[in-house]
């Protein structure tokens, strides 16, 4: 099946989320040297606003997947006429901008879809029409469209199979999944697989639960099916895609890991920060909210490392809000603070992949709207893909801040992460470093690069809201220039603002920014 246009072959610093920058404090690296930074005040810079920043360039503290920032499509989109819209040249251009990445096809409707190997289910069944069947069936034509979209966009498809087809003894009925697997193999589709979506919610959905042990047995059964089909004998299998790790969910995960921990190639879970029905714009600026993910990471890592030490962990399904998101909020500039901090925090904690829910048209958490226009989080993701490589570097920070009051925690509103610059970006030589900075303060902050970063030329990519809506804006500007597609087949050039060597970085209030420090010749970043 031809693509709508030519088809190509088919930073994070280790920084505690609650860090307070104190005058005599140096943030130690978890790897490499632990020297403290001097805190002398350079001429002309007020001491209260100065933050000194250096990066350990000797070795990375984490190495994440090249596909670290990945995407999800929710099956709810298949009600809209055969998935033909996935052939849109504009949509392929937007998706291709975020490659390489995984494309996960999964969501709440996953466990209600059935596959039928027919090109026109309405015609073959004499039924009421394609829309009815595509709400409940995954037919051959829609699967072809889905795979072709992923392939032409440079994305690797991960398909979640229906786990709620059950036998009387509550074991998984794999007959429909086998039909889909055989069809995909006949087309030589390169797909990875999952089984179900948020199994901890099955009792709510159908009044019938599946415990962790049984789910583990189901995954072993799926692995056996894959091994029987030559095309998928070595295919990757991911799961169990649990929800937030509360007590009952942790129990389900433990039961699963005991039985099938070695069967999956990565352990997956989901996270949504806010109940979308009650959230406010100011919620996206709360450091306490940004830090909630850290505790979940620790809970998941504890279980996984107990049963399969070293197993990769993915956050597979993440968004600003549950309940489908909030109009004018979770698709606005303000939501980007959560998204960029999520990327930084996960990489610094060694989470291998994060899957954004959703790429397109799932209420208001998406990157691209129903008219195929990119939203603020899309441009943020595009900058991340262009500038950030998989090697995470440790930072060293010293600064001046008021003393904390007794019994009061000062949470960090200035978050700094560092990576080796992406090897795919040919504008920068290997050995360059990219910083990205979130300033939640309502005042500007000044950062002086020190140590190995001192007196280097820096390229600034400052992302701010565009228009009069401020934090609610659905448009953004890069270094003062609004971002928009040139045409359906062309993304805009992301032009940096060069800063002279040795210049203090001035971070405007309530902004997100990337800084490429050129020609550092960092040992950690010279080789892939």
pLDDT of residue 82: 63
261 and 115 housed in the same domain: yes
Distance CA 255, CA 250 (A): 9
pLDDT of residue 437: 97
Query: Last residue of a domain, which of 375, 390, 405?
Result: 390
Domain count, the chain: 2
444 and 473 housed in the same domain: yes
408 and 333 housed in the same domain: no
Query: Last residue of a domain, which of 390, 406, 425?
Result: 390
326 and 405 housed in the same domain: no
Strand blocks (E) in 295-336: 313-322
Contacts 24+ apart (CB under 8 A), 172-178: 172/217, 172/218, 172/221, 172/222, 174/221, 174/222, 174/225, 176/114, 176/115, 177/115, 177/222, 177/225, 178/225
259 sits in the region (left: phi over 0; alpha: psi -120 to 50; else beta) called alpha
384 and 397 housed in the same domain: no
Q: Is 284 exposed, middle or buried (0-12, 13-18, 19+ CB in 10 A)?
A: buried
88 and 230 housed in the same domain: yes
Instruction: Name every residue whose Cβ is closer than 8 Å to that of residue 111 and which is 6 or more positions away in sequence.
Output: 162, 163, 164, 196, 197, 202, 205
Domain annotation covers residue 5 = no
Domain annotation covers residue 279 = yes
pLDDT of residue 435: 98
Give me the CATH number covering residue 326: 3.20.20.80
Query: Last residue of a domain, which of 390, 406, 422?
Result: 390
pLDDT of residue 349: 96
Look up the domain containing 267 and give its range. 65-119+130-390
Distance CA 477, CA 467 (A): 9
Tell me if 292 sits within 8 A of 315, measured CB to CB: no
pLDDT of residue 402: 52
Domain annotation covers residue 490 = yes
Give me the CATH number covering residue 467: 2.60.40.1180
pLDDT of residue 358: 87
pLDDT of residue 283: 82
pLDDT of residue 378: 97
pLDDT of residue 164: 95
Distance CA 363, CA 313 (A): 27
55, 159, 487 from 445: Cα distances, Å? 19, 44, 37
pLDDT of residue 199: 96
What does the buried/exposed string (b/e) look like for 443-469 if buried means 16 or more CB atoms within 10 Å of the residue's CB? eebbbbbbbbbeebebbbbbbbbbeee
Joined tokens for residue 117: 């190997």
> Which residues of the chain fall below pLDDT 70?
1-2, 4-49, 79-82, 118-138, 275-279, 320-328, 362-364, 400-411
76 and 223 housed in the same domain: yes
114 and 208 housed in the same domain: yes
512 and 458 housed in the same domain: yes
Tokens 């925090």 sit on residue: 345
Strand-pair category, 62-63 with 388-393: antiparallel
pLDDT of residue 403: 57
415 and 376 housed in the same domain: no
413 and 316 housed in the same domain: no
Determine the length of the chain.
528
Domain annotation covers residue 243 = yes
Residue range 401-451, pLDDT digits in tens: 555 555 555 568 999 999 999 999 999 999 999 999 999 999 999 999 999
Domain annotation covers residue 419 = yes
């Amino acid at each position: 099946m031809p693509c709508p246009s030519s088809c190509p072959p088919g930073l994070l610093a280790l920084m505690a989320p609650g860090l307070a920058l104190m005058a005599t404090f140096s943030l130690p690296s978890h790897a490499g040297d632990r020297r403290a930074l001097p805190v002398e005040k350079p001429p002309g810079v007020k001491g209260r606003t100065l933050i000194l920043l250096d990066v350990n360039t000797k070795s990375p503290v984490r190495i994440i997947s090249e596909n670290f920032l990945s995407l999800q499509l929710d099956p709810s989109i298949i009600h809209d006429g055969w998935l033909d819209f996935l052939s849109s040249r504009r949509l392929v251009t937007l998706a291709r901008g975020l490659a390489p990445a995984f494309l996960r096809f999964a969501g709440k409707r996953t466990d209600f879809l059935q596959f039928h190997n027919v090109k026109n289910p309405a015609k073959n069944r004499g039924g009421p029409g394609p829309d009815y069947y595509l709400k409940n069936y995954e037919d051959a034509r829609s699967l072809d469209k889905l795979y072709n979209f992923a392939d032409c966009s440079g994305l690797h498809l991960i398909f979640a199979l229906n786990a709620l087809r059950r036998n009387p003894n509550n074991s998984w009925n794999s007959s429909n999944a086998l039909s889909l697997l055989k069809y995909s193999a006949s087309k030589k589709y390169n797909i990875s697989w999952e089984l179900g979506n948020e199994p901890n919610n099955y009792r709510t959905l159908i009044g019938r639960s599946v415990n962790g042990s049984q789910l583990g047995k189901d995954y072993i059964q799926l692995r056996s099916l894959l091994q029987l089909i030559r095309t998928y004998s070595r295919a990757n299998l991911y799961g169990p895609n649990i929800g937030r790790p509360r007590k009952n969910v942790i129990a389900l995960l433990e039961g699963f890991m005991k039985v099938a921990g070695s069967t999956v190639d990565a352990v997956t879970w989901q996270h949504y920060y806010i109940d979308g029905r009650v959230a406010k714009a100011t919620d996206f600026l709360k450091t306490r909210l940004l830090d909630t993910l850290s505790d979940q990471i620790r809970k998941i890592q504890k279980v996984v490392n107990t049963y399969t030490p070293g197993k990769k962990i993915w956050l597979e399904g993440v968004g600003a809000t549950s309940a489908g998101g909030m109009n004018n909020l979770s698709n606005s500039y303000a939501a980007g603070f959560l998204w960029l901090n999520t990327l930084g925090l996960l990489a610094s904690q060694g989470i291998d992949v994060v899957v954004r829910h959703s790429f397109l048209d799932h209420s208001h958490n998406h990157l691209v709207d129903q008219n195929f226009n990119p939203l603020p989080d899309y441009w943020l993701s595009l900058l991340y893909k262009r500038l950030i490589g998989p090697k995470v570097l440790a930072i060293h920070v010293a600064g001046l801040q008021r003393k904390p009051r007794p019994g009061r925690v000062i949470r960090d509103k200035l978050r700094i992460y560092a990576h080796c610059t992406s090897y795919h970006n040919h504008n920068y030589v290997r050995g360059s470093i990219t910083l990205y900075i979130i300033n939640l303060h309502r005042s500007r902050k000044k950062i002086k690069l020190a140590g190995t970063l001192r007196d280097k030329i820096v390229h600034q990519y400052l992302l701010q809201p565009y228009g009069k809506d401020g934090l609610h804006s659905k448009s953004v500007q890069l270094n003062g220039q609004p971002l928009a597609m040139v045409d359906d087949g062309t993304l805009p050039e992301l032009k940096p603002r060069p800063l002279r060597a040795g210049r203090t970085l001035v971070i405007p209030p309530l902004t997100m920014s990337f800084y490429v420090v050129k020609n550092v010749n960092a040992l950690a970043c010279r080789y892939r």
